[in-house]
Amino acid sequence: MNAILRRMLPELLEVAPKNCVYVIVTNPCDVLTVIGQEVTGLPPERIFASGTVLDTSRLRWKLAQRGSVDLERARLHRRRARRHRVPHWSRATIGTVPILDWQPLDGQPKFTVDELDRIAVDVRDAAYTVIPGKGATNYAIGLSSARIVEAILGDQHAVMPVSAGAERLPGRRRRCPLGALPSSTAAAPDRSSRRPSRPTSSHSSTAPPTP
């Protein structure tokens, strides 16, 4: 994929509009984000990857179901560290209530740390559950990618956990993908190249997943 991207992007630059925004939708998306920016010379607001938008959507959906609330009330995002997706539990809320303090409206008990760990594993392994049944997870990544593109074309300023390369940071020798850093990966992708897709501590806003 590295070689394909390095060959493809220069050709795209020749024919694409000058203000085109590139969204990378393949793995390893964090690494390919950095490669894409190095090959094209484009800033983070012009080329980034889907990050953990899909994983975050799945996780929020499961939390909303368990918490007996609509999807928009479940707020958190997942960070990517190498091959692992790490839920940002300390920032997870339902409405404004920390996830462990939330009392489900249907009378179920509150969330426990062990239960959250099980939910995280279920979400992490979701693809391995779907693939044996239907052969691929194409609908889910298609939906999450469409959500990213919708936010860009509509200038919605939606906050999403995309992989947008970070410039040199203290203690680091080269640029790194935000998704591989221990800080927040959330960013607000947007159609205008004048407005940076910068990291933020806000919670993500993504669409519900479809397997």
Q: Indicate the length of the chain as a whole number.
A: 211
> 191: closest CA among 145, 146, 151, 163?
151
Q: Could you tell me the residue range of the domain that residue 58 belongs to?
A: 1-206
**Mean pLDDT score of the chain:** 79
Q: Residue 1 has what pLDDT?
A: 80
pLDDT tens figures, 68-94: 998 887 887 655 544 456 788 888 999
Q: State how many domains the chain has.
A: 1
CA neighbours closer than 13 Å in the CB half-sphere of residue 95? 9
Q: Residue 87 has what pLDDT?
A: 83
The Cα 180–Cα 71 span in angstroms is 26
Packing angle, helices 2-15 and 29-40, rounded to 10: 40
Please indicate, yes or no, if residue 211 is contained in any of the structural domains. Answer: no
> 59: closest CA among 116, 138, 6?
116
Please indicate, yes or no, if residue 127 is contained in any of the structural domains. Answer: yes
pLDDT tens figures, 28-71: 888 899 899 999 999 988 999 998 899 889 999 999 999 999 88
Q: What is the pTM of this model?
A: 0.76
The Cα 16–Cα 23 span in angstroms is 13
Give the CATH number, domain containing residue 101: 3.90.110.10
Q: Residue 210 has what pLDDT?
A: 39
So which residues are the catalytic ones?
Answer: 84
